[in-house]
Amino acid sequence: MTAESRSEPVAPLVPSTLLEPIRRRPTRLGLVSGGLGAYWPQFPDLLPQLQESARYVTSRFNELDAEVTDVGFVSDAREAALAAEELRRADCDLIVIFLTTYLTSSMVLPIAQRSQTPVLVIDLQPTEAMDHANVDTGAWLAYCGQCPVPEVANVFKRAGIPFHSVSGHLKQESAWQRINQWVHAAGVRGRLRHARHGLMGHVYPGMLDVSTDLTTVSTTFGSHVEVIEFDDLREIVGEVTDEQVRERMALARNLFTVDRSVDDDDFAWGAKVSVGLDRLVTEFDLDSLAYYHRGLAGEQHERLGAGMILGASILTARGVPMAGEYELRTSIAMLAAQAMGAGGSFTEIQALNFFDNVVEMGHDGPAHLAVSAAHPLLRGLGVYHGKRGWGVSVEFDVRHGPVTTFGIGQDPDGSYVFITSEGTVVPGPLLAIGNTTSRVDFGGDPGLWVDEWSRTGIGHHWALCIGHRAADVKAAASLLGVEHRHVSLT
């Protein structure tokens, strides 16, 4: 597993000039550095060296796609208390405390207590090791950031505060990769804490696993669930102009290869619904949307439900994930994956291949264009399997390489569980039926994988993420206070 597969965001397949990302509240990081003020008069060269290290740490955080509140360097409990108040007001998603040398736990505890925000303790000594022949006491103290880590961990445990730490040296890239995992986790926490999830239509009849307690979404993640009617979309779509439809069809032709199976009227209808979905997202200020409507005999609501895939795929690529079949928990997982820069495409099991030891998975839309291996195809379907209606659907092969399946389960007591498994998308024959499809090698018997994956309490659907991201998901689960379960055949 490479560092790139773990932590690099998914590069968009389509140019940003075609699809402008919908940007929301950025990840907010708080940063404070500190050491014991009693040392400064004793060792005059120590504080300037530690402050230089702190400036390097600040520069690394400022390079991230985040809003950083740096409250500077603290030397005693009174300065730490002032820093704690400033960080509390900043409403951070994660506070990072850089232990530059020894400091007392009394300097750290107020920061965690007053902010009510997860805290990451980092201790990064100047180099890989001391030059013992040329190190005096003052120089040694610059390497002493690890010394208070057990003390801080003990006090956090006694205070009921979850403890997270990264120990290493200042320019150790593996340590910074671990730090970045916590930054990704903070991004998930921040995105879910402020998210507005749309829920439109009704549950697919008989899918008991899809049913989700809306109250627990808010109490667990801090999110808001906005219940939306298909009538809302109907009225908005009714106001879309012919010129807007032509413009959206032109955009779709740039984004997709339009297959000969696509009927022009169905294409125009999908484009019209797409324009309406954009406005629906704006009017309700949505971060995600899960939807389903059964419909009957080609009436208006059935046509709306069948015309969602084009517009939902475009919005998912812009950063507002959409999931069919009323799958609220999967749209939440897709939003979390989006926050980590991992894509996150609506997915289920399609078949198993015991010759190649792969699980074939995908869905008939919507899809995340960023995970496509090549230019996606727009295919016309006269039948949506298991659903009423007809229209256009998105088809592509998921890019080859490391992937993570990530879903959210719900246990008998109502608590949520983040569930992951890591595999590799490999080349081979795929269905050509208007689905996003992939062949995932999980490193063993695909039937065994299905058994182990199902045993976790996962539901019907999940997000397929680019890269091996289980560690990021585990960190996010920790910050959100939910359990993480991982399936591995090795």
Predicted local confidence at residue 363, as pLDDT: 81
Pairing of strands 462-466, 377-381: unpaired
* Rounded-to-integer distance, Cα 107 and Cα 185, Å: 25
CATH code assigned at 261: 3.20.14
113 burial (CB, 10 Å; 0-12 / 13-18 / 19+) is: middle
Same-domain check for residues 65 and 156: yes
Task: Look at the chain and report how many structural domains it folds into.
Answer: 2
The DSSP secondary-structure symbol of 76 reads: S
- If asked whether residues 208 and 321 sit together in one domain, one would say yes
- Looking at the structure, do residues 207 and 348 belong to the same domain, yes or no? yes
CA 316 vs. chain centroid, Å, equals 13
Of 62, 305, 276, the residue nearest 200 (C-alpha): 305
The whole-model pTM stands at: 0.91
Could you tell me if 178 and 33 lie in one domain?
yes
pLDDT for residue 388? 54
How far apart (Å, rounded) are the C-alpha atoms in residues 291 and 296?
Answer: 16
As a whole number of angstroms, the distance between CA 252 and CA 229 comes to 26
Per-residue model confidence (pLDDT) at position 12: 52
What pLDDT sits at residue 2? 37
What is the predicted pLDDT for the residue at 8?
A: 54
Please write down the long-range contacts of 168-173, taking CB distance under 8 Å and 24 or more positions apart: 168/122, 168/123, 168/124, 168/125, 169/124, 169/125, 169/126, 169/127, 169/128, 170/53, 170/56, 170/57, 170/124, 170/125, 170/126, 170/127, 171/56, 172/124, 172/128, 173/3
Domain boundary among 192, 224, 242: 192
The reply to whether 111 and 238 lie within a common domain is no
Structural domain contains residue 349: yes
pLDDT digits (tens, 9 = 90+) for 42-91: 999 999 999 999 999 999 999 998 999 999 999 999 999 999 999 999 99
Residues 260 and 367 occupy one common structural domain: yes
Cα 231 to Cα 2: distance, rounded to the nearest angstrom: 48
Residue 11 belongs to some domain of the structure: no
Query: Residues with Cβ < 8 Å from 332, sequence gap 6 or more?
Result: 192, 195, 197, 217, 221, 223, 288, 408
Q: How high is the pLDDT of residue 376?
A: 87
Same domain, 390 and 298: yes
CATH code of residue 164: 3.40.50.10940
> Are both 139 and 233 inside the same structural domain?
no
Q: Which domain does 32 fall in, by range?
A: 25-192
In a domain, 19, yes or no: no
Q: What is the pLDDT of residue 6?
A: 40
Residue 370 lies in a domain: yes
Token pair listed for 430: 């795929």
pLDDT at residue number 87: 96
- Please give the Cα distance from 484 to 481 (Å, whole number): 10
* β-strands 196-201, 288-292 pairing: parallel
Residue 1 lies in a domain: no
> Which of 168, 192, 216 lies at the terminal end of a domain, its last residue?
192
Q: What's the longest Cα–Cα distance across the chain?
A: 86
By DSSP bridging, strand 28-34 and strand 94-99 are parallel
**Each residue's pLDDT expressed in tens, for the chain with a length of 490 residues:** 333 334 456 655 554 567 788 888 899 999 999 999 999 999 999 999 999 999 999 999 999 989 999 999 999 999 999 999 999 999 999 999 999 999 999 999 999 999 889 999 999 999 999 999 999 999 999 999 999 999 999 999 999 999 999 999 999 999 999 999 999 999 999 999 999 999 999 988 888 888 899 999 999 999 999 999 999 999 999 999 999 999 999 999 999 889 899 999 999 999 999 999 999 999 999 999 999 988 777 788 888 988 999 999 999 999 999 998 899 999 999 999 999 989 888 999 999 999 999 999 988 777 888 888 778 888 887 666 555 556 788 888 888 999 999 999 999 999 999 999 999 999 998 877 767 888 999 999 999 999 999 999 999 899 999 999 999 999 999 999 999 999 999 8
